[in-house]
Amino acid sequence: MRQKNLLEGVPVFVAVAEAGSFSEAARRLGVSPSAASQAIRSLEERLGAPLLRRSTRSLSLTDAGADYLLAAAPALSQLRRAAEEAAGRGGRPAGPLRLSMPRAPFNLLIAPALAAFQEAYPDVDIEIAVEGRMIDIVERGFDAGLRYGDLLAKDMVAVPVAPSSEAILVASPAYLRTRSTPNHPTDLLGHRAVVCRSQTTGLIKPWLLQSAGETVQMAPPAATIVHDLASQIELTARGLGIGSAPIASVSDLLDAGQLSRVLPAWSTPLEALYLYFPSRRRQPAALRAFIAFLKGRSYLALDVRDGHVRNVDERDRTAC
């Protein structure tokens, strides 16, 4: 292989592999689908091996393609970061910043902050993959991810961005009018539940309820099963059963009367939320800026008592 052609087509291949389609990868890269397809054909010819299986309806990696992606994606990400560090752009953070996170922290913390971050750092190009399943951020070429503390790999650097909180049981007023009101977790066995299957483990987590030093763990009763928190909350509000959700995610629905709290003396403790990333001596400038920005938003002082989310000042931090 001629050295001058070493990287030709590699960014296109990585984009297609991650997007799962030529059209979406072409849109992200700002090229035509035919140009993306030709770039990968040329790369395959130079490598002497097919990287993708193509059909009219599907696209998948060959074994050679999977191995090549495993090496190419992090290498390409490293090259981009090196170029950013070398260019400097007058000392201002610049270049790509790729993040992975679940829906709940995206909705509650990140989405409301993006306009302010973009205004503060206009040269940073941020890309966010919102997905519930755990991924290897290094293998997939992400700079950082957001996850709760019990899900973090031990070889990652973790920066807390939101405090530990709690999940509560909720149901629609219409559902509760047709059923007897639970007074203890054991009463839940006569109800229906709306639960979420973990995209990481494939399991439905048991309900772990605590109140005044008492802990009850139980499998949710007969259930409607979904695969994401938003759907769980939606179906709970529509009266399909009792659901367990982070209090911050349902506070607006509680205020609006679309949901009511069930067993208000009981709740489930939730881990703190962390921004995590590989341990490196030199972090990308864009990531350093994002970490400092999140810390400056005082998310660690979020108050979620009584179903409300608000920032609190230094005098009230001990109550969080």
| C-alpha of 61 from chain center | 24
Q: Each residue of 227-278: pLDDT tens digit? A: 888 899 999 999 999 999 989 889 999 999 999 999 999 999 988 888 898 8
- Domains observed in the chain: 3-74 (1.10.10.10), 88-162+272-303+312-319 (3.40.190.10), 165-270 (3.40.190.290)
Q: Each residue of 2-17: pLDDT tens digit? A: 444 667 888 888 888 8
Tokens representing 187 are 């009463």
Q: Each residue of 148-173: pLDDT tens digit? A: 776 677 778 888 888 888 999 999 99
Residue 36 vs residues 40, 80, 253, 269: alpha-carbon distances, Å: 6, 20, 45, 48
Q: Each residue of 112-157: pLDDT tens digit? A: 889 999 999 999 999 999 887 778 888 888 899 998 776 677 778 8
Q: Each residue of 43-60: pLDDT tens digit? A: 888 888 899 988 767 788
Cα angle 26, 228, 275; round to 5: 75
**Residue 309: pLDDT band with limits 50, 70, 90:** very low
d(CA 152, CA 166): 19
**Residue 87: pLDDT band with limits 50, 70, 90:** low
Residue 50 vs residues 10, 67, 150, 309, 320: alpha-carbon distances, Å: 13, 12, 40, 52, 55
pLDDT mean across residues, the chain: 82
Residue 14 vs residues 7, 19, 30, 38, 208: alpha-carbon distances, Å: 11, 8, 15, 14, 41
**Residue 223: pLDDT band with limits 50, 70, 90:** confident
